[in-house]
Structure 1
Amino acid sequence: MKDRGTAPGAVHRRFEALDTAEAAAAPAAPAVVEPAVIAPRTGEHDHGLRTVVERARRRIGSGALPYLLAALFFVIYTTHSLLRHRRMETHAYDLGLFEQVVRAYSNFEAPVSDIRTPDFNVLGEHFHPILALLGPIYRVFPGPSTLLVAQAFLVAISVVPITRIAARAFGPWGTAALGIAYGLSWGIQSAVSFDFHEIAFAVPLLAFGLDRFLLGRYLTAMAWWLPLILVKEDLGLTFAAAAVPLLLLRRWKMAAAHVLIGASAFVLAIFVLLPAINPNDTYAFWGNLDSSQRSGNADPTTPLGRVPISELVIELPMSMVLPSVKWMTLFTLLLPTGFIALRSPILAMIVPTMLWRFTSSNEYYWGTYFHYSAVLMPIVFAAFVDGVVRLRASRVDWLRRYAVHAAIVPLAVSLAFARDFPLMDLLHKRTYMVPDRVRSAHKVLDRVPDGATVSATMSFSPQLVSRAGRVTDFPTLLPGRGYAAIEVWGNNKDWARYWIAHLIGQGFTEVAREPGAVLLKRD
């Protein structure tokens, strides 16, 4: 039997009509509990001063709450990111690489990264010209911290629309609970804690667009989502997937526009723009679709003709859940919503991202770490609220009661997961301490002159990019005079010692040595 109130556009009209304060005060209808309506806290006919003050407090609180939460999470994300960089836990891939890209944009140059490959234009690997927006900021505030703070801001500002969406379905406490749950969600935490990535731009664009979409303002939502095609090539398909809820709403023209624009942008990027810039004249990630490979380094020269398309199609159902890490990722993605997100057609927008990740041979794409799930978080949380609104119009009594109190589920799950995700580090003293090996490393890196050419190991690269002339990923060496900055700690000690001895045998001289770090020079 169909639930009441699920006719095309009905849910969206209810979203548009709801006011946060009134939703917290209006009584439910006796026959059908209207979606997103919370029972009153005070007497229905109490018009005293206390009621007026309470309603005013709720209006002010609900209006300011999204911005207060965003500011709080901006401070948390920024603190966490900068402390990681201070402890030398950021890397060449990808903070050092993207700093070179943004630095090039700030100088009105092509986005070349010597860390990726000497003289390599990164627009031949991924299509993310939106990074040029950071160029003017970097020109004023050069350094890796600029990228980390920018990412923290972009991700934190997405809390505003998600909290607004929650405010149309829950009272003040439920709204706060969902906003906090989103800010602490594992996909957001993993992204903030893993250097810098272009997808930071996608998170607020998706969130603000979903806010408008759930109000039935589909053209405004499209305007928010359109820049996604400049963030990364696969996000054109995410833009196209918004056609699914639009089709269910019988918005035929809008759905067709999404498919046409999104699919065209995707095809143009991977078949024309990226191959035109790539030195191998192909899209660099076709090799990830070869199921015989199980690594993070697919052959970037693989042409489309070598991709086993028929095998991919036949094995698609299995590849979406096996190995087990894949279905665990799906489970972990939906668990914070109590699986209520499955009630919303908005959830279809996660499908393109899950398809390219799970059909890839790159095992790093399958799990819950790194930045790959950040773009899914706004979609899942918006789908959760949409699902709650739909459940509150259900004929099933226990589903309606569950929906009324559902805001606690995302918060409980996010807090339960927090122990295993990075922001919990802020509660430990060691997070604020600078290890002795880092102090020693800085003594060595300070010997590198500004403007020099340096081949640096992973942890040293982000410390040098802003002031060095060129930085490559060790052991890649550019010809001529230059330096080699080598970290000698962790699991790479034997490897580092081998290379130090080898380079000295090739004419390098030792300039500085401290526990855990060595600097070599070639004249």
Structure 2
Amino acid sequence: MLFKLTQKQGLQWIIISAIAFLAITLGLTLHRHFTFYSSYDQGIFNQVFWNGTQGNFFQSTLSSQLSTNVVHSGEVPKVNYHRLGQHFTPALLLWLPIYYIFPYPATLTVLQAIFITAAGLVLYALGRIYLEPAIAFLIAVSFYCANAVLGPSLANFHDISQIPLFIFSLLWAMEKRYWWLFGLLGIGTLAIREDSGITLFGVGVYLIASRRYPKIGLVVCSFSFLYIVALTNLIMPLFSDDVAKRFMLERFGQYAEGESASTLEIIWGMVSNPLRLAVELVTPVFDTIKYLLGQWLPLAFIPAVAPASWAIASFPLLKLFSGQGESVLVISLRYAMNVTPGIFYGAILWWAGQGFGNFNRQVADCQPRTLRPQFRRFWVFCMCLSLIFTITSNPSRTLYFLIPDSIQPWVYIPAPEQWQRVPQIRSLLNKIPSDASVSATTYLIPHVSSRREVIRLPALELENDAGNTISVDYIIADLWQLERYRAAFKLDRLRLESMTNLIEDVTSRNLYGVIGFNNGVILLQKGVDSDLKAIALWQNYLESINY
């Protein structure tokens, strides 16, 4: 018996699935945030939005702390640093009115869940253009089950979360021949991020290769390429040197020489040394294959034989596979979302009957494929397997209360234990004035980022609006978390040692006084004497962790 759904049933089931996805992802990510597991990027975007409501658009001391001027030249972070030099993201202005009404870090978490949920609904509408409700429904549910979608959905807010919604909507407009909407969404896609034009370029290649709309495809490819080149070589350098001196070298430095490289120099390095590029594309071999299988898994590996998937997704894949660093091949990280639109749209066209043998035929003239019960069961199995892989990977530690961070040695923090700490941390955060400058540990950054002057420990200095270098007014550090994780993670062990040495140094020199201590969380204020009870608690704690 074949799996059938009426049009009404298909719409009902996809709405139910979307609500379930929204409820689960929103519940988990809000739980992550309010139990102090959202981290640095959440703080960066929140500060960018908060500064936007104050008229200081795209400025961030937290982004400045990651800039080449700070990382490589040893300068102090600046409050008027424009993040557009690192990532060009004007599309964020679309959501600024919402943040203005609800000016909280958690608002960004809600927005991200809505973006991705809405993308699944648009994907269903896109599938229904050619497919019966049952197959369109399974494709949309596969999107919600994909590790490359669910993993980044459970992370900090990130600009790439807008990509699936914009690209699926653009493809839907193309299928409906709403060219004015197609153009607006194309411009909107480019505004999401400086590299989002790579995914749009893939759409243009598909339109040319399939001969559906070759002239429009040529315009899309040309405009996307020229936009990326002009943006990264002419516009972004007006704000900072981060593209040439940091991001290009960190990700693609193997194709360049010297201490800086433009995108054109990187492209030339790839073209002039094809052997090196070929090696980079396939190595490490096992991780590359595993990444592709992870992208294909929720769709039962159909994208592997779908020509449209290869046409569109090849270009964001090329960017990932040609880069260096461990993060590029982690499917649960945000970069994977650049690949998913092409993967899923190609699956739609494959089920509509398009294959390598008839790639140049109009999709409407192809014979749709039939979903057999055996394959449907295999497809559902693949979706479940994708969910299992996502859960066990514990993306962004969102499932810390379910999945241990380490088995040997055992590192696990139950939800009740972490929730007991929430009021303890809040009691110290509430002592910090809203207009004071702050330096905080990573997981406290989002909760103090709605201010002009905030940086991450161990940094203590920044440049204010007057151009003066100042020391922050307050220091707040969650040492308990570092203490719990140090047994299994060397970096946390080193950070704990660094933080305790820093606190001992600034208090011994009377630069800061300890004004609050509660269960491993310490609060210091500049230029005051330490509270006797708080300093005693700190000394006892210090002795207990230095055993």
TM class by shorter chain equals 0.7 to 0.9
Per the alignment, do residues 122 and 85 of structure 1 end up closer, same or farther by CA in structure 2, a change over 3 Å counting? Answer: same
Match of residue 377, structure 1, among 328, 340, 353: 340
Q: Deviations over 1:228-256 (max 9, x none)?
A: 11011111122122122212225231111
- Cα pair 1:100 1:465 within 8 Å, conserved: yes
Read off the aligned partner of 2:295 and give its amino acid letter.
L
Shift of 1:438: 3.8
Read off the aligned partner of 1:474 and give its amino acid letter.
L
Counterpart-to-counterpart distance in 2, 1:392 and 1:325: 27
Read off the aligned partner of 1:368 and give its amino acid letter.
I
Does residue 1:155 correspond to 2:146, yes or no?
no
Where 2:352 maps in the other structure, the secondary structure is helix
Which residue is equivalent to 1:329? Answer: 291
Shift of 1:464: 1.2
Does residue 1:272 correspond to 2:220, yes or no?
no
Shift of 1:434: 3.6
Bigger shift: residues 494-503 or 260-269: 494-503
The answer for unaligned runs of 5 or more in structure 1 is 1-37, 42-56
Q: Deviations over 1:13-61 (max 9, x none)?
A: xxxxxxxxxxxxxxxxxxxxxxxxx9797xxxxxxxxxxxxxxx93322
Per the alignment, do residues 73 and 336 of structure 1 end up closer, same or farther by CA in structure 2, a change over 3 Å counting? Answer: closer
Counterpart-to-counterpart distance in 2, 1:357 and 1:393: 25
Bigger shift: residues 436-445 or 376-385: 436-445
Which residue is equivalent to 1:415? Answer: 384
Where 1:204 maps in the other structure, the secondary structure is helix
Counterpart-to-counterpart distance in 2, 1:421 and 1:114: 33
Does residue 1:314 correspond to 2:270, yes or no?
no
Read off the aligned partner of 1:348 and give its amino acid letter.
A
- Cα pair 1:126 1:232 within 8 Å, conserved: yes
Does residue 1:472 correspond to 2:455, yes or no?
yes
- Cα pair 2:10 2:134 within 8 Å, conserved: no
Match of residue 287, structure 1, among 244, 249, 257: 249
Which residue is equivalent to 1:91? Answer: 39
- Cα pair 2:139 2:348 within 8 Å, conserved: no
Counterpart-to-counterpart distance in 2, 1:321 and 1:128: 31
Which residue is equivalent to 2:47? Answer: 100
Read off the aligned partner of 1:339 and give its amino acid letter.
F
Counterpart-to-counterpart distance in 2, 1:300 and 1:125: 20
> Taking structure 2 as the reference length, what is the TM-score of the superposition?
0.76
**1:341-490 correspondence to structure 2 within 5 Å:** 341=303, 342-390=305-353, 406=375, 408-422=377-391, 425=399, 430=414, 434-466=418-450, 468-478=451-461, 479-480=470-471, 482-488=473-479, 489=482, 490=485
Shift of 1:347: 3.2
Which residue is equivalent to 2:545? Answer: none
The answer for unaligned runs of 5 or more in structure 2 is 65-76, 359-367, 404-413, 462-469, 486-491, 528-547
Q: Deviations over 1:173-232 (max 9, x none)?
A: 444333222112111111111101011221201122233444566664444333111011
Counterpart-to-counterpart distance in 2, 1:473 and 1:427: 25
Shift of 1:393: 12
Per the alignment, do residues 345 and 290 of structure 1 end up closer, same or farther by CA in structure 2, a change over 3 Å counting? Answer: closer
Per the alignment, do residues 265 and 179 of structure 1 end up closer, same or farther by CA in structure 2, a change over 3 Å counting? Answer: same
Does residue 1:509 correspond to 2:492, yes or no?
no
Which residue is equivalent to 2:156? Answer: 195
Shift of 1:271: 0.7
Shift of 1:164: 2.2
Per the alignment, do residues 225 and 74 of structure 1 end up closer, same or farther by CA in structure 2, a change over 3 Å counting? Answer: farther
- Cα pair 2:458 2:499 within 8 Å, conserved: no
Counterpart-to-counterpart distance in 2, 1:473 and 1:186: 30
Bigger shift: residues 352-361 or 81-90: 352-361
**1:108-147 correspondence to structure 2 within 5 Å:** 108-117=55-64, 118-119=77-78, 120-147=81-108
Per the alignment, do residues 309 and 380 of structure 1 end up closer, same or farther by CA in structure 2, a change over 3 Å counting? Answer: closer
Where 2:523 maps in the other structure, the secondary structure is strand
Shift of 1:469: 4.4
- Cα pair 1:206 1:378 within 8 Å, conserved: yes
**1:30-49 correspondence to structure 2 within 5 Å:** none
Shift of 1:441: 2.4
Shift of 1:127: 0.8
> Taking structure 1 as the reference length, what is the TM-score of the superposition?
0.79
Which residue is equivalent to 1:242? Answer: 203
Per the alignment, do residues 459 and 121 of structure 1 end up closer, same or farther by CA in structure 2, a change over 3 Å counting? Answer: same
Per the alignment, do residues 96 and 416 of structure 1 end up closer, same or farther by CA in structure 2, a change over 3 Å counting? Answer: same
- Cα pair 1:238 1:262 within 8 Å, conserved: no
- Cα pair 1:391 1:403 within 8 Å, conserved: no
Which residue is equivalent to 1:70? Answer: 18
Where 2:353 maps in the other structure, the secondary structure is helix
Shift of 1:456: 0.7
Counterpart-to-counterpart distance in 1, 2:429 and 2:356: 63
Shift of 1:275: 0.9
Ranges of 4+ aligned residues in structure 1 off by more than 4 Å: 38-41, 168-173, 214-220, 289-293, 298-301, 305-312, 391-395, 399-410, 422-433
Where 1:320 maps in the other structure, the secondary structure is helix
Counterpart-to-counterpart distance in 1, 2:83 and 2:356: 50
- Report which of the two has the higher share of helix: 2
Read off the aligned partner of 2:214 and give its amino acid letter.
W
Does residue 1:81 correspond to 2:29, yes or no?
yes
Shift of 1:484: 0.9
Counterpart-to-counterpart distance in 2, 1:334 and 1:380: 8
Which residue is equivalent to 1:23? Answer: none
Per the alignment, do residues 432 and 127 of structure 1 end up closer, same or farther by CA in structure 2, a change over 3 Å counting? Answer: farther
Per the alignment, do residues 40 and 514 of structure 1 end up closer, same or farther by CA in structure 2, a change over 3 Å counting? Answer: closer
Read off the aligned partner of 1:302 and give its amino acid letter.
S
Per the alignment, do residues 256 and 170 of structure 1 end up closer, same or farther by CA in structure 2, a change over 3 Å counting? Answer: closer
- Cα pair 1:244 1:345 within 8 Å, conserved: no
Read off the aligned partner of 1:329 and give its amino acid letter.
Y
Counterpart-to-counterpart distance in 2, 1:407 and 1:260: 40
Where 1:201 maps in the other structure, the secondary structure is helix
Shift of 1:340: 2.2
Quick one: percent identity of the two aligned structures? 18
Counterpart-to-counterpart distance in 1, 2:224 and 2:195: 9
Q: Deviations over 1:66-92 (max 9, x none)?
A: 444333322222111101101211102
Does residue 1:257 correspond to 2:219, yes or no?
yes
